[in-house]
Amino acid sequence: MPSSDSQGSVFVAPLSQDLSWILTPLLELPCVTGGVVFSRDGLILGRSSDLFRETGEGMAALTGSALGVARTMVSTGSAEGDKVAELVISTREGGVYYVAPAGSGSGLVLWASRGVDMGRLAREVQVQVSKLVAALDEASRSRTTSTPSPS
């Protein structure tokens, strides 16, 4: 059970697991050039190995915000309970940014160059999303509580 202080604030140890491994099979697909795993609040949980951490953090924050906007649009404009399945951004040069939510707490974004097989990408992403959700559920169950330092 999480610990709390005298004012009732709850302290839980942060998730320290690097989830970059989720991206590995996706980065092996033809034309896929990079990716980031992010939390709902835009924190980076994993990234492709050739991506600078700062760039990955920026992409995580931007994508978390974009997915939040898409979720709000869907909840405002469609039937109750409808959810975002994917967000696809096409560039003028033929590139693609593919965003997939993973449960309610995370997601991943991949970017690919012209010629990517979108059907295959979507199928492979869904396989990895299910693994990401399972990994986050397991990590959540196994997290230990932290004790706040005395003031």
The pTM is what?
Answer: 0.79
Please give the average per-residue pLDDT across 44-67, as a whole number: 95
Does position 30 have pLDDT exceeding 80, yes or no? yes
3-class SS of residue 38: strand
Cβ pair 106, 92 in contact under 8 A: no
User: At residue 147, does pLDDT exceed 60?
Assistant: no
Q: Which two tokens stand for residue 53?
A: 């951490």
Share above pLDDT 90 across residues of the chain, in percent, rounded to a whole number: 61
The amino acid at 72: T
